[in-house]
Structure formats: C-alpha cells, structure tokens
Structure 1
C-alpha cells in the first residue's frame, strides 16, 4: 500500500531534508512539494492525496489555519520547530506533531500510524457493497455494482448508474468520491472521471469505452490504465491499444 503525500514548507532546506528522509520509506510516494499553502488548494481538488506533511509558521498562512479551511483534509502530520502549536494541532486531528529537527525514529513512528489508519479505512471500504450520498437533500444508498462512471463538476459530481439515463447529482468532488470507493473496483482516468472497472469494454491511450459512452483518458492517468491492464478484470478486450 502506497501512501501518497505532499510536503509543504516555506523553507527550501527543510523541505529538501524532509524529502530525503522520506525517500528511505518504500511505502511513501511523494507527489509534489510546495512552499506555500495557497498553491495547494487547487492541487487537492484534482489529485488524490493521502497525507500532508505540513509546516506551521509560514509567511502567508499558518499551517493550522490552512487545515481549518479545508473542507475535507487528508491525513496531516505537522512538522515544525515550535512546540506551542501542539495542542491546536491535535485538536485538528493531526496524526502526529513532529518537532524539527525530526529524528528517524519519530518519523518512522508517524508513518506507521498513517499506515495503520489507512489499512483500517481500506478494510472498511472493501467490506462495503454500497455508498451513501446526499441526493436532493436525502441520504441515498447506491450499490457499487450499479455505478457505471462518475463525473466531477467542481463542487458537485454526477453519478451515472447502469440502465438509468439521468445521473444522480451530489455535492462532493472526485477526491472525496475516491475515498468512498474501493480501488479494486474503480479507477480514476481523468481529472473529471472515475469509472467502474467492470464496465470497461476497451481503451486506447487517449480514450476509454464503456457500454454507453466514450470517455477521455488524461495524460497523467495513462499509468493507471497500464496498471488496470495487468490487474483489472480478465478480458481480451481490456487492453491498451
């Protein structure tokens, strides 16, 4: 299980040092580094991030305030030279609070906590055969096998069901939907689309065909399709051509 993370720190030296330390952990995948929280908001809307390593005292915005402003924050590990924010950090449900300079032992313990949380979450998701979302102000139960694909529209998503021409509309984003859906059954193929693997008929490098529609494949998601080619449903039609 890979832990997809981003790093935020206004000090380049501290950022590079943390990156070097994290490279020794096989389960950590560093997606991106940032020098200010303001650059991260749009990134989180379009990318699935499990964990943020976050400095606190930064010129444009405190790391704690940044977390408060996020609607659906990933897991957070604060990395700071200041102990006085510790209580506030844990009030924000941070996984850990690491004081600089960060020792290898403390970093290891923090990552182990994240791995344990993600393992528990994945187990809970896999055991589910449905999701519950708000549709027209009512909680609606949707069985996973009924979902064909999901389209992201900024702060809303459209959920297209098998044999239902009109999609369900719910207030969320694709990153939030990814957290609800088991990765064994669903695949992100574009900034705007998640598909049910079992509905894929065939695909090229640029587009994917479901029984009812063709969808584009984003360049940065081609790798996901290669993974699907080897690990997805067994079918001679499920190949990248």
Structure 2
C-alpha cells in the first residue's frame, strides 16, 4: 500500500485524481490539496510515498515543490495540461508525466510503475541504521543504535539519544515515525512515547525506566509490549 497526496488547484481535476486513487487498491489517500504549500506542510509531518501534482499553480508550482522534498523516498508523478514541461519533469527524476485529460488506465499505469520501482528499491537496499530529522533549520543525523526513546508533544517529537544532553526537537508526527522505524527495534508504548527495545534494562510495574525517566505503558499498547517482554526481553 502506497500513501499518496494529490495536488491540483482546479477542483474538477482534483476530484478526478481523488477518485482514481480511491479506485486503486494499492494506493491510500493521505490528503487532497488545492495548492503546493498545503502539501508541503503535510510532507513536513508525514512520510508519503507518492505525490500526484499539477505543475502550474499559484505561489508555488508542482515543479518547485518536487525540488523541495527532503525525503528521497517520496516519488512524484506530474499531471499537467502542458506537454512542454515534460523534459524538466524528467530532470527531477519524476516517475511519470501525465498530460490532461488523464484516463484511469494512464493513471493506473503510472501508479503501478511507482509501485514496482519502490518494491525493487526496498528489495535491494539494506535497512538504514540511521534517520535524518529537520531541527533548527538543519538536518540532524540520528543513529538508531543511540536513540533511547522518542516523546511526542502535539505536532513535535523529542528524540532522546545516548550522546546528546538535550533532546532533538523536530516537527513530525508520531504516526509517521512509527511507520518509518523498524518494529523489531522500536515500539510505541504510549500515545506520546516510542522506545528502543534494545535499550530497556528495567521495567517497574507498568513503566519503563531509563535512568530518572519513567515511561508509562498504556492499556492500548500493553498486550504487544508484554508479548515482547515474555518472549524477547532478557
């Protein structure tokens, strides 16, 4: 299942793309945006696999948006009424370039091409042992082996690591991080907390103890956590 965003400033075109996404079994619609700025704000918080975007839009074009995306895993398919943008689209490594009016068969073929490329990449690439997060207008590298736990605070996350006295603060949702990190090493144990399972040494009642910090295990996640404790925890 690929998560996706559709972007178009024309309501009819936007509704058509939404309908196409909803008709495609391997696509999940995250948002439908009437401008690229709104889409960029979502991309700052969510990990999205695929973007279908028009090119000519007010304030920020789809082409400009594609150049601003920091997550290299996010792929782009352009949808536009102008064929002359095709060459520029391929220069930014777009998966495909669809010229309006777009039929469902054309849409499906492009979406399937994205799916096949991502499957091929995931099969070839090793699992990353680090992540990059945006903090204070910089990209900060976090080695997963050094990450102890993550705390959620509204739209922000705090990353607590072995070598950093202060947490690293970034604008990101806990849900998107949960999808990004390996479930074998990290587990969400509370609405506001995700922990590195390999860093756990002490559990007191329904709390995980990291030094002077006590992290609660909520009822929603207790069953999965206890399963880990009973089978894997030494």
The higher radius of gyration belongs to 2
Q: 1:103 to 1:193 in 2, by over 3 A?
A: farther
Q: Give unpaired runs (5+ residues) of structure 1.
A: 203-207
Q: 1:132 to 1:235 in 2, by over 3 A?
A: closer
Shift of the alpha carbon at 1:84? 0.7
**What's the counterpart of residue 137 of structure 2?**
none
**What's the counterpart of residue 30 of structure 1?**
29
Note if contact 1:197-1:233 (Cα within 8 Å) is conserved in structure 2: no
Quick one: distance in 1 between partners of 2:45 and 2:191? Answer: 6
**What's the counterpart of residue 65 of structure 1?**
64
Quick one: distance in 2 between partners of 1:229 and 1:124? Answer: 35
Shift of the alpha carbon at 1:61? 2.5
Note if contact 2:149-2:161 (Cα within 8 Å) is conserved in structure 1: yes
Matched residue count: 216
One of 224, 229, 234 as aligned partner of 2:227: 234
Note if contact 1:152-1:158 (Cα within 8 Å) is conserved in structure 2: no
Quick one: distance in 2 between partners of 1:124 and 1:192? Answer: 33
The two structures have a TM-score, normalised by structure 1, of 0.66
Shift of the alpha carbon at 1:28? 0.6
SS in 2 for 1:29: strand
Q: Give unpaired runs (5+ residues) of structure 2.
A: 134-139
Quick one: distance in 1 between partners of 2:111 and 2:179? Answer: 19
1:42 matches 2:46: no
1:149 matches 2:142: no
1:211 matches 2:209: yes
**What's the counterpart of residue 79 of structure 1?**
79
Shift of the alpha carbon at 1:181? 3.7
Q: 1:72 to 1:232 in 2, by over 3 A?
A: same
The two structures have a TM-score, normalised by structure 2, of 0.68
Quick one: distance in 2 between partners of 1:117 and 1:216? Answer: 40
Quick one: distance in 1 between partners of 2:122 and 2:159? Answer: 24
**What's the counterpart of residue 205 of structure 1?**
none
CA RMSD in angstroms comes to: 4.5
Q: 1:141 to 1:43 in 2, by over 3 A?
A: closer
Shift of the alpha carbon at 1:44? 1.4
Shift of the alpha carbon at 1:124? 5.1
Quick one: distance in 2 between partners of 1:80 and 1:129? Answer: 35
Q: 1:20 to 1:129 in 2, by over 3 A?
A: closer
1:158 matches 2:159: yes
Q: 1:26 to 1:210 in 2, by over 3 A?
A: farther
